[in-house]
Homo-oligomer: A and B are copies of this chain.
Amino acid sequence: MNLHLAVDAGGTSTRCVVLDETGGCLGYGRAASGNPISAGPALAAYSVAEAAATALTHAEAAHGAGGADVVVVLLAMAGASSLSGPELFAAELAPLGVDAPVVFAPDLLATFCSGTWLPAGYALVAGTGATAVRVENGSVARTADGLGWLLGDDGSGFWVGQRVVRAAAADLDGRGPRTELTSLVLSQLGLEDDGTRHHGRPAVLDRIIKLLYSQRPVELSRLSPLAFAAGDDPVARAIVSAAADALVHSLEAVADPGVTGPVVLGGGTITQHDELAARIAAAGTRDVQVVADGAVGAAVLALRQASVVVDEPVFDRITRTLAALR
Q: Which residues of A contact B (CB under 8 A)?
A: 81-82, 106, 133-134, 140-145, 147-148, 150-152, 154, 162, 165-166, 169-170, 173-175, 198-201, 205-206, 208-210, 212-213, 217, 220, 249-250, 253-254
CB within 8 Å for A143 and B200 given contacts A152-B169, A169-B151, A220-B150: yes
Measured between alpha carbons, how far is A152 from B173 in the docked complex, in Å? Answer: 10
* Contact assessment for B133 and A152 in the assembled complex, using a CB-CB cutoff below 8 Å: no
Contact present for A201 and B150 (CB under 8 Å): no
Identical chains bound together, number: 2
When distances are taken between beta carbons in the complex, the residues of chain B under 8 Å from A81 are 198
Q: Is the CB of A173 within 8 A of B147?
A: yes
Known interface pairs A174-B253, A175-B253, A253-B174. Does A200 touch B141 (Cβ–Cβ under 8 Å)? yes
A140 to B, closest residue via Cβ: B199
* Most B CB within 10 A of own CB, among A142, A162, A210: A142
| Most B C-beta atoms less than 10 A away, residue of A81, A150, A152, A154 | A150
Specify the chain B residue showing the minimal Cβ separation from A217.
B150
Cβ contacts A to B, 15 pairs, < 8 Å: A133-B200, A140-B199, A143-B173, A144-B173, A148-B209, A150-B162, A150-B212, A150-B213, A150-B217, A150-B220, A151-B165, A152-B166, A152-B170, A174-B253, A174-B254
What B residues does A133 contact at CB under 8 A? 199-200
Closest Cβ of chain B to A119, distance in Å, is: 15
Q: Which among A140, A144, A147, A210 has the greatest number of chain B C-beta atoms within 10 A?
A: A147
Which residues on the B side are within 8 Å of A165 (C-beta)? 151
